[in-house]
Structure 1
Amino acid sequence: MKTALTRTKLLASALVVFAVIGGAAYYLLDRHAVTGLVSGTDYSEDQLNEGEVADINTLSLSEAKKRLNYLILDARDSINQIAMIESMRLEISPASKTDPVPAEKKELRYDEPFVPFPATQLSAALGALQQQAFAQVFFDNQSGLKLDVEPIREVLKRGALPDQRHEERYAVQAVSFRDGTQQPFTEVGVVSVEDEDTSKAELKVNKPVERIDVALTYQAYAGFKKIMLDPAHPKVAGEQGEIYQLTALADGSASLLLATPKDKSLVIQGLSADGKTLYSGGSSSNSSPTAEQKANLRAYYDELLRMQDHFSSYTTSAELQAHLEQFVKDLPDTASALTNVHATYHFEDTPASIVIYLLEPAQLQTVSLQMHNSVPPQSRYIAYDNATQKNGFIDNQGHWVVKPRFERIQYSEMPGVYHMQVGSTPEKDGWRQLLFKYFTFVPGGHTLKELPFEIIEKPINADLMIVERETNGPYGVYDLKKQQVVVPMKYVNVNVVGELFIGRPGLKTYGSDSDYGVWNLAGKELLAPRFSNIEVIGDYLYTTAGNDQQRDVYSLKLQKINPLGTTAIGAFIQGQPQLVQERKSRRFSFINPQGKTLPINLPYDEVEPFSNGMAVVKTGQRYGAVDTEGKQRVPLKYTTLNAFQKNLASAEMEGFKGLVLIDRNNTVVKKLGQYTTYSIPANSNDAKYSIWDTKEENRVNVFDADGAQIDSYQRE
């Protein structure tokens, strides 16, 4: 039998005696407000006999009285400790008159904030998923289905608690075959209750499947309650006796007293002053007595006092022990719907507030899914023969059309082309290399044909693909329909755009031992290989002459756009005109996509391409800018003017040291100051400026394109 003393000690040991935390901190104060304290006789050491109830019957009556004194004192201490903790208030006070030297602020880590995602939202998100897929693999008389469940699991993670392993089960209900028939899974499936991975299933047939109906079951909580605690609001009480109380907040930790429903889950996170979720370093907790346990403890204490007052009525110590044991046995059941704990949570920094999410009990949910076969319909399928442990091909009826004789066969990224193991190198030092080749079927039959390349770089369309003769080239184009190489494999650094094959003849992907040219996808030369570079930007081709002095722009039909005698600068981007320069006169002009010169007067020494509708111009040592109509919106007054972002441009001017931001009407919007570095991509709004702080030495503040500060750091 559990003794009264044991029960009392369990209550006492569950309590936490709080130490005042050093430094300026939030901590528990104000003992004057304590309610529920009990007082009584203080006993000297010779009036106490420390011990438990179980051996009182071995004591003399005089020693039994001392044991009773000890039990009274122990119960009183437990009651008072509980009362002190429950009456403590969170206040602010410096623990020392001498403020410590502030340590250098460390770079903080943050957690992803918990975003509640209850059952209704989870179900809606699953329903909004794009078409789900599975892959079918074939055997000599069976087939296997592997469900692509990663998109589903990503959604289910949102409904799980942080660091909780979500579990789900998939049950195939019905199977629809590509011959138009449909059967319940119980008739055609292999049912295995022992298989824990339910994202796989086996069929008793090897017929190609079109789709399957799947029942997905998972756990989800129906709703949640959000509780916020901070120094101004340290306690929240619920209607059913729930308690959420902040008791200490300092030194990267927060202590809480919680009385929460046993059937609900808690997610507790610490927030910084700006609302970020602080990185969690774990937690520790101790049980705390429930209201029922405290009532029993008080009844037990009162009974001890009554026994002390009537001690003379006990004739033996055994009678005293029997009475105590019976009293404890008759106490009301202390079962409670609440769990009482004191917990301390540790964070990367002292939180400014604590957020608690109280989640309803998780319940089993079921949703119906329809999945489609990711292996497209075809005349034959790779199949594995269990008897020979080899691979071959079967037709739509499951009959072998290529006997199983290959160690491995894989589908490639090009439909109708297979990657097959044809052998291996001799074993050396315990290792051997597997040898693979690409194969396809000769049209009109089941005869395999080996293809003359080692690697498929990428498909171009249903018939054409870029291929490599061997690793790292050279590259060419293979026509699967014609079953021949149509662009010889003798080019490197290739690019296919529309009907154009761009590359340079040679074997080396590095160096400049040859020039770039353009061919069509039948191998006909369209632009001779005489260019040091050919770049595709949008719907245009830009060629750079071998001497790097001439740059021309072509349409994808290879119609030259820039006028004769001009070189192209920049590119057609975002519908803006193309900048060109006459080679002889060095005059600048803008042209449209038809190659027509636009009536934009450019009497400047230098002109830059348009960026977000503004072109920087320069005369002498001064910069300004014009818009796409040719109007000079920014006068020639700046010593530096960078490419315009969507709204502003950075510049340098006389009378101010460092960068300023100006708008399109030459208004100085913000003075940033002296810079250490900056990055200004054209035709974007992604500029970043690193500016020296004017007050703190070696501190750098980072601003975005619109002048908003986005970062700050100390430079060594």
Structure 2
Amino acid sequence: MLKNVIVPLALIIGICSCTSQKKPLKNIDKDNPLIKAIDTLTLAEAKKLLEEENQGITMLLNFSSINLELSVETSQKKDTTIFNKNPYKIYSKDTIDKHISDFTNEIIFEQKIIPPNSTLRFGGYSTSDLKLKSIEEHWDKIDNPIKLQIEKKFLSDKTTVADTATTTVNSNGYLVHNFSSAKNIDSLNVNFIYSVPNIKEYIIDASTTEVDTIVISYKKVDYNKVQITYPSYLEDNIVSIEAIHKNGEILEEKGISSNSKPTEEMLSYLKDVKSIFSKTIKKIDNNKIKTKEDLKNSLLQTVPETPINSRTTYTTYSAKGEIDKIKLFINKGKPTLNTKKVTIKPPSYKKSNFGYYIAQDSTTNKSGFVNAAGNWVIRPTFNDLEYVLDYYYYTEDTDYTREYLWLNTTNNTLEKIDYVLYRYEIYDGNIVITEKEVNGPKGLINAKTGKVLLPNIYNNIYHEKGYFNVYNNRKTSLYNKYGKQILPERFNRITVLENSFITEIDNENGISNTDIYTLTGKNITNGRWQNFEGDFGKAGLILAAKNYIKDNVNYTDKDAFINENGKVIIDLKEYQWADIFSNGLAAVKEKGSNLYGYINTKGEVVIPFEYESAKYFQEKYAYVEKNNTAYLIDKNNKVFKKFPDTANSMTLSTDSNNATYSLYNGETYNAEGELLKKGKNN
């Protein structure tokens, strides 16, 4: 490439390295590489250096005098057009801010306590998590790193420490912060400091002569190939070049190459420098320059600075398709610096809820526990303690054998356990389900006290709303968090409601004996109904139904709404069908008409029977259909919204306001009738 032969000698390169976009000075200064080189030489050696420089300039001028045409090959065959699916993009401030917020929400820290010091290591993210190509590439450059500047530390002993420390990158590439304290940190307020490139997009074509006063020319040399000419100092500021098809889409790049040659201004400059060097050499020969100081002063007074436009670059860009225009992305200066204030916490699975924090002895590398004040409460005698669950840890020997330990907070000891945890989950603050061995019989333990609530003798145990279903020999019973039995071991299934339990005992005829029990274990239904729907909810009423078999077919009659004492409040015999209550109203179907209306908790019809479909009431409105048209109506049967189509699916829950209605036309609405998703034709 011509670029490599323009300035073949080190000192000429040094002179040219002063090129910038600033207005050139009249002469070189004392920091010029030529002047610095003379400082290390004798006068005779300096003369020889000037002679060598002159020979290099002569060669360069002779080479540049050749009428050199930068030829570009053309193609006779057109390639298949391929568009770039991931073109370079300048993101808006709002887009960047949104991504940065999502990005910073994932940042966590882990604290390693080595009394009397600690190290914080930040993680949970990488630059690729941004999914913003230009930002990611910008951050990957060494001059534009992410910085976390700590502002405040909130400690577990309820104190707050102001800090201005900036994280550093350790040998493994992690952001870390070292500080002099063994106190555990609950959270941090940090300044997330990041920069955004100052890049501008330009479209150039055959009519373009300059961009922001910089001379740029465009020449189409083939259907898929163009040549762009610009000052060489712009090279480092061009972030990306892309070809635009006539339909406006970005073409995939096929190839790119660049050459350069001196400008006329540079050639004139080199002739002047050659003349100055020749005259200076004669002065040395004629003894008019007698010392190095004389030589330096002469050069400082006569050698001009390198011109700004020292070289012109010719870039040939080819694409996989016919090029209409070229898009240039040019860096316009220093990136914009931004700061976002963020609260960072440790990962939830490593948070201690009772004031014991793993720490490591700096001498032995053994682990133990410190308290919130940073003082040892369990001496460091264990290998690599790791948190498993509140009160449970493991230590690993050199042969990678794990030993599980229970933290006894009464006497500050770590004790080996003779059981395993069924799930790494703690219920109701301190209860764990245990196993005698993996996949073995199960039991319950109070993890805080170590008290066995149920021995490991049961087939299965699972937790539901503060209670434990305990299975044994195909029967289930119910226990509370204190290990007290609430319902005996005689049922096939037990469902825990908010303030009651539904029990089922299977019969040979396929119809279960189903009852409702209070929280104290009292049966309030005594076999009167075989099925219940929903929960008592806000209305305090549950839908009770009778199951029966007729002509070998199972039927269900929704018979009544009963209260939490088992008393019938609303008899449903006069209706063909009923739904459960939601926000004070229940849909019912009239016998004979097959139309729906709504009743209140007193059993009064408050919305007449006029709808072909009627769904749960949300806080304000319910979805109904009439004459194949969908509406949202309020509790006074007034139409709030008419939908453009009926729903093909919906998500509904009782006593809430979380509904979504997905229509056949592709639109989706929420419980308030607000459009969440537009249809295909919107």
Bin the TM-score by the shorter chain: 0.5 to 0.7
For residues 686 and 402 of structure 1, do their structure 2 counterparts lie closer, same or farther at Cα, with a shift above 3 Å needed?
A: same
Specify whether residues 566 and 462 from structure 1 end up closer, same or farther in structure 2 by C-alpha distance, changes over 3 A only.
closer
Cα distance 1:661–1:436, how it changes in 2: closer, same or farther (>3 A)?
farther
Q: Aligned residue for 1:581?
A: 545
Correspondence list, 1:418-497, <5 A: 418-421=392-395, 434-441=401-408, 443=410, 445-455=411-421, 457-472=424-439, 474-491=441-458, 494-497=461-464
- Matching residue within 383, 399, 403 for 1:407: 383
CA distance in 1, matches of 2:643, 2:126: 51
Where 1:482 maps in the other structure, the secondary structure is coil
8 Å contact from structure 2 (residues 130, 136) kept in 1 = no
User: 1:210·1:372 contact (CA, 8 Å) conserved in 2?
Assistant: yes
Secondary structure of 1:420's counterpart equals strand
The Cα offsets for residues 109-168 of structure 1, whole Å up to 9 and x where unpaired, read as 9669957255997599669967976433233x5543223343696887769535555432
Q: Which residue of 2 aligns with 1:11?
A: none
Q: Distance in 2 between matches of 1:268 and 1:560?
A: 78
Contact 2:106 2:125 in 1 (8 A): no
Deviation at 1:484, TM superposition (A): 0.3
For residue 406 of structure 2, give the secondary structure of its aligned residue in structure 1: strand
Q: 502, 512, 517: which one pairs with 2:477?
A: 517
Match of residue 696 from structure 1: none
- From 586, 591, 610, give the equivalent of 2:561: 591
Q: What stretches of structure 1 of length at least 5 have no aligned partner?
A: 8-52, 59-67, 85-94, 298-330, 425-431, 506-512, 654-659, 673-677, 690-701
| RMSD (Å), alpha carbons | 6.8
String of CA shifts for 1:455-502, please: whole Å, max 9, x gaps: 253122443334444334544332244330224444455443444222
Instruction: Return closer, same or farther for 1:255/1:389 CA change in 2, 3 Å cut-off.
Output: same
Shift of 1:419: 1.3
Q: Is the 8 A contact 1:246 1:256 kept in 2?
A: yes
Q: Does 1:145 align with 2:145?
A: no
Label 1:567 to 1:406 Cα distance change in 2 as closer, same or farther (>3 A). same
Unaligned stretches of 5+ residues in structure 2: 8-57, 268-305, 549-554, 600-604, 634-638, 654-658, 670-674
Equivalent in the alignment of 1:362 = 335
Whichever residue aligns with residue 453 of structure 2, its letter is V
In structure 2, relative to structure 1, the CA distance for the partners of 1:207 and 1:569 (3 Å cut) is closer
Q: Which amino acid is the alignment partner of residue 386 of structure 2?
A: Q
- Cα drift, residue 239 of structure 1: 4.5
CA contact (8 A) 1:533 1:544 kept: yes
Letter of the 1:150 partner, please give it. G
Change (3 A) 1:282 1:556: farther
After superposition, where does 1:635-674 map in structure 2 within 5 Å?
Answer: 635=612
> Counterpart of 1:413 in structure 2: which amino acid?
L
State how far apart, in whole Å, the 2-side matches of 1:147 and 1:591 are: 58
CA distance in 2, matches of 1:129, 1:57: 59
Residue aligning to 2:297: none
Of 625, 631, 636, which residue of structure 1 is paired with 2:608? Answer: 631
- State whether residues 174 and 214 of structure 1, in contact with CA within 8 Å, keep that contact through their aligned partners in structure 2: yes
Tell me, in whole angstroms, the C-alpha distance in 2 between the residues paired with 1:355 and 1:477. Answer: 68
1:613-646 Cα deviation digits (max 9, x unpaired)? 88586989x965444556333359xxxx999999
Looking at structure 2, the residues matched to 207 and 283 of structure 1 have their Cα atoms a distance apart, in angstroms, of 58
How far off its partner does 1:453 sit? Answer: 2.9
Distance 2:463 2:631 in 1: 41
Q: Deviations over 1:261-307 (max 9, x none)?
A: 656565789999999x99x96664344889x969999xxxxxxxxxx
Contact 1:144/1:200 (<8 A) preserved: no
2:196 to 193, 206, 220: 220
Aligned 1:290-369 pairs, distance under 5 A: 334-335=309-310, 341=315, 343=317, 360=332, 361-362=334-335
Please give the per-residue CA displacement for 1:377-400, whole angstroms capped at 9, x wherever unaligned. Answer: 866543334544433345667665
Distance 1:481 1:711, change over 3 A: same
Q: Does 1:116 align with 2:114?
A: no
Alignment pair present for 1:502 and 2:469: yes
User: Is structure 2 residue 140 aligned with structure 1 residue 136?
Assistant: no
- Measure how far apart 1:541 and its partner are: 4.9
Paired with 2:325 and 2:521, the residues of 1 have a C-alpha distance of: 64
Contact 1:211 1:372 in 2 (8 A): yes
Letter in 1 for 2:420: E
CA distance in 2 between partners of 1:449 and 1:669 (Å): 66
Could you tell me which residue of structure 1 aligns to residue 360 of structure 2?
384
* Residues 287 and 589 of structure 1, relative CA distance in 2, 3 Å threshold: farther
Determine the structure 2 residue equivalent to 1:199.
Answer: 175
Q: What is the aligned-residue identity percentage?
A: 15
Amino acid at match of 1:591: F
CA distance in 2: counterparts of 1:243 and 1:632, whole angstroms: 77
Judging changes above 3 Å, is the alpha-carbon distance between structure 1 residues 255 and 523 closer, same or farther for their aligned structure 2 residues?
farther
CA distance in 1, matches of 2:631, 2:219: 50
User: Compared with structure 1, are the counterparts of its residues 154 and 57 closer, same or farther at alpha carbon in structure 2 (3 Å cutoff)?
Assistant: closer
CA deviation profile, 1:177-202 (whole Å, cap 9, x unmatched): 7776969799xx9x999746452234
1:285 equivalent among 256, 273, 277: 256
SS of structure 2 residue aligned to 1:148:
strand
Residue range with higher mean Cα deviation, 118-127 or 362-371: 118-127
State the Cα distance separating 1:437 from its structure 2 match: 1.6
CA contact (8 A) 1:475 1:488 kept: yes
CA contact (8 A) 2:245 2:323 kept: yes
Relative to structure 1, is the Cα distance of residues 588 and 220 closer, same or farther in structure 2, using a 3 angstrom cutoff? same
For 1:183 and 1:340, the matched residues in 2 are separated by 55
CA gap 1:268/1:587 in 2 versus in 1, 3 angstroms = farther
CA contact (8 A) 1:438 1:453 kept: no
Tell me the equivalent position of 2:511. 549
Is the contact made by 1:216 and 1:369 (CA closer than 8 Å) also made in structure 2? yes
Contact 2:611 2:625 in 1 (8 A): no
Corresponding residue for 1:527?
487
* CA offsets 1:20-71 (integer angstroms, 9 cap, x no match): xxxxxxxxxxxxxxxxxxxxxxxxxxxxxxxxx989999xxxxxxxxx9xx7
| Contact 1:453-1:469 within 8 A present in 2 as well | yes
Equivalent position SS for 1:458: coil
- In the TM superposition, residue 533 of structure 1 has moved relative to its aligned partner by 3.4
Confirm or deny that 1:168 pairs with 2:178: no
Q: Report whether the alignment pairs 1:566 with 2:529.
A: yes
CA contact (8 A) 1:282 1:345 kept: yes
Distance 1:564 1:581, change over 3 A: same
TM-score (norm 2): 0.55
Distance of aligned partners of 1:370 and 1:518 in 2 relative to their CA distance in 1, 3 Å threshold: closer
How many equivalent residue pairs? 540
Distance 2:516 2:247 in 1: 51
The Cα of 1:521 is off from its aligned counterpart by 1.4
Q: CA deviation at 1:234?
A: 11
Inter-partner Cα distance in structure 2 for 1:529 and 1:588: 29
